[in-house]
Structure 1
Amino acid sequence: MKSTAISRRAFLSSGALLAGSVVLAASPLKKWPCIDEAPSVGQIIDTFIAQVPSGTIPHTIDTLKSGSRDTKVTGVVTTMFATIDVIRKAIELKSNFIIAHEPAFYNHLDDVNWLQQDDVYRYKKELLEKNSIAIWRNHDYIHSLHPDGVSKGLIDTLGWQQFGVEGQPVFNLPAAQRLGELIAFYKKKLGIPALRYVGDLKQHCQKILLLPGAYGGKAQIEAIGKYKPDVLVCGEIAEWETAEYVRDARAKGDKLSLVVLGHIASEEPGSVFMVDWLKQHFPQVKATHVHPGNSLSFA
């Protein structure tokens, strides 16, 4: 979703994208008093927030989108988007708590005032209410972990822990690879059927600037100028911003390429991070990662 000062841009400027970091190393493992006791939705949320260095974030978008804090959890599903299909999967799994990274109702703030008469919104809302399912959006908080939980999940998925540059969202590969080889690597590791790029497939790339999610064109372009990568690998772009900048840079003579993974592909590993966190802190609760799939298809 749209970057916030607390999430991706703060993450970029602070250099929180560190490969090889130990997840929440400084945070004590909070043991549940009774291993057989089912926690409530609120207790799981509060335990996660307690491990975020900044603590409670004012005016956060990370609120309950459905359900109650007091609900006893029968199981948790982690996902990027709480789609209707993901909700149906949660029902099948007998899980009544969904932790999603992005909005449930089609806008950054999950404002539903304009959707009250919309058939899709009403169907989804009634499905959640009928099955007593709570949805919590975990966006600002997971991005505020040190290291950023979404980026940590992506780095682990790529197996790039040892290539990171401390304090920078930059990865130096041990040997240069052709852009076409890198693209094939991302497709295989992240399950992407096809992706978009700007550049020469034969260009040799060694210094990678990795910006998952939606930083925004200004932040992406500023990062290119600051870190001087061979290739920017990002989640999503506005086509009239970063892609045009890279195209002009190449026309100028710069050896610069752009690879667009897609928002879901670049940040879904954060939902894998979340399921691992749940298994560590609430082992008595069944936790399942459910990939929402890609909303867009390739013809």
Structure 2
Amino acid sequence: MNSNLSPINHNPNRRKFIGQLGLVAGAAALLSTPFAADAVTLTRPEDNMTVGQIIDLFMKQVPGAPFPNTVDTLKSGNRDIVVTGIVTTMFATIGVIEKAISLGANFIIAHEPTFYNHADETTWLANDDVYQYKKQLLDKHNIAVWRNHDTIHSLKPDGVGLGLLKQLDWVNYYKPETGNLLSIPATSLSSLIDTLKKKLKIEKVRYIGNPAQSCQKVLLLPGAAGGKRQITEMSTKKPDVLICGEISEWETAEYVRDAQAKGDKLSLIVLGHIASEEPGSEFMIGWLQQNVPGIKATHIHPGNSLSFM
């Protein structure tokens, strides 16, 4: 749910696809590697590779994983299912499941919950017809759904953040020593919003600030970091603008409003949770291309659940 572009840990076993490069060079190599297109068909087939083997392969590249009390568990299916195709997505919606079926894919790697709560606890949904419909659809087609949340966020830098930097063409502005505080060429808040909407294909964003304000120091917190963290980082890092996924309106927005009343030049841009973290699912396509050659991998964007009038 939340993302943090923390400094890189120079460990040669950290991730095979970073290799033996230095701190900054290693990150640059990873970030500059083009992600695969929406659908990638690779040439070397993987004979009888299972869901569990792919999960284990990813977790081996993150020190400490699997983590205790993690939400990164299978939500349907089992580890022994032989993978015929993979779909990466932010949410394993019914629409995404149906597309996976049409593609012949039986393994969905989702970033967020499948069953409407953080832990995917389903006892309270036992008699709910929407839950039952979705569960039966997955069971009928023997589809495994694995949530990759805690693990991808624990990469250094954060895998979701890497995907977002790539999509925004902000790779060169990332510095390990400053993490999620980026220094971009000075631009107006209005122009910055236009860039974000274009690059992330967002119809509208919510914001606080003077459209003419100059923005250069950008605090990037995709996902739902929470009000305390958002406010604490604004207080200590003093950005011109916070770009985040979502907020509690009674927390972060009110802090920024009061900061402006105090005279601070601080702005806020709220992208939406899906828009800010979906690039992490594209990051996974790149990882699959490099680590699981031979299996067809497709990124499916779930779209925004909310519409604008």
**Does the CA-based 8 Å contact 1:105-1:121 persist in structure 2?**
yes
Runs of at least 4 residues off by over 6 Å? none
- SS of the aligned residue for 2:157 comes to coil
Once residues 169 and 163 of structure 2 are traced to their aligned partners in structure 1, the CA distance between those partners, rounded to angstroms, is 10
Answer yes or no: is 1:243 the counterpart of 2:244: no
TM-score with structure 2 length normalisation? Answer: 0.87
User: Shift of the alpha carbon at 1:194?
Assistant: 0.3
**Does the CA-based 8 Å contact 1:41-1:71 persist in structure 2?**
yes
Once residues 189 and 146 of structure 1 are traced to their aligned partners in structure 2, the CA distance between those partners, rounded to angstroms, is 24
Alignment RMSD: 1.8
- SS of the aligned residue for 1:70 comes to coil
Answer yes or no: is 1:140 the counterpart of 2:150: yes
Q: Determine the structure 2 residue equivalent to 1:37.
A: 47
| Matched residue type, 1:90 | A
**Does the CA-based 8 Å contact 1:197-1:257 persist in structure 2?**
yes
- SS of the aligned residue for 1:255 comes to coil
Once residues 287 and 307 of structure 2 are traced to their aligned partners in structure 1, the CA distance between those partners, rounded to angstroms, is 31
Answer yes or no: is 1:71 the counterpart of 2:81: yes
Q: Determine the structure 2 residue equivalent to 1:281.
A: 291
Residue 195 of structure 2 is aligned with which of 179, 182, 185? 185
User: Shift of the alpha carbon at 1:166?
Assistant: 2.6
Residue 173 of structure 1 is aligned with which of 184, 208, 215? 184
Q: Determine the structure 2 residue equivalent to 1:31.
A: none
Answer yes or no: is 1:117 the counterpart of 2:166: no
User: Shift of the alpha carbon at 1:35?
Assistant: 4.5
**Does the CA-based 8 Å contact 1:62-1:140 persist in structure 2?**
yes
Q: Deviations over 1:42-81 (max 9, x none)?
A: 0000000000022321111000000010000000000000
Q: Determine the structure 1 residue equivalent to 2:222.
A: 212
Q: Determine the structure 1 residue equivalent to 2:140.
A: 130
**Does the CA-based 8 Å contact 2:46-2:292 persist in structure 1?**
no
**Does the CA-based 8 Å contact 1:77-1:99 persist in structure 2?**
yes
Once residues 90 and 208 of structure 2 are traced to their aligned partners in structure 1, the CA distance between those partners, rounded to angstroms, is 26
Once residues 154 and 30 of structure 2 are traced to their aligned partners in structure 1, the CA distance between those partners, rounded to angstroms, is 12
Q: Determine the structure 1 residue equivalent to 2:209.
A: 199
| Matched residue type, 2:175 | V
Q: Determine the structure 2 residue equivalent to 1:103.
A: 113
Q: Structure 1: 5+ residue runs without aligned partners?
A: 25-33
**Does the CA-based 8 Å contact 2:7-2:156 persist in structure 1?**
no
Once residues 156 and 264 of structure 2 are traced to their aligned partners in structure 1, the CA distance between those partners, rounded to angstroms, is 34
Q: Deviations over 1:174-219 (max 9, x none)?
A: 3x11101000000000010001000011111111000000000000
**Does the CA-based 8 Å contact 2:224-2:247 persist in structure 1?**
yes
Once residues 138 and 36 of structure 1 are traced to their aligned partners in structure 2, the CA distance between those partners, rounded to angstroms, is 21
User: Shift of the alpha carbon at 1:38?
Assistant: 3.1
- SS of the aligned residue for 1:240 comes to helix
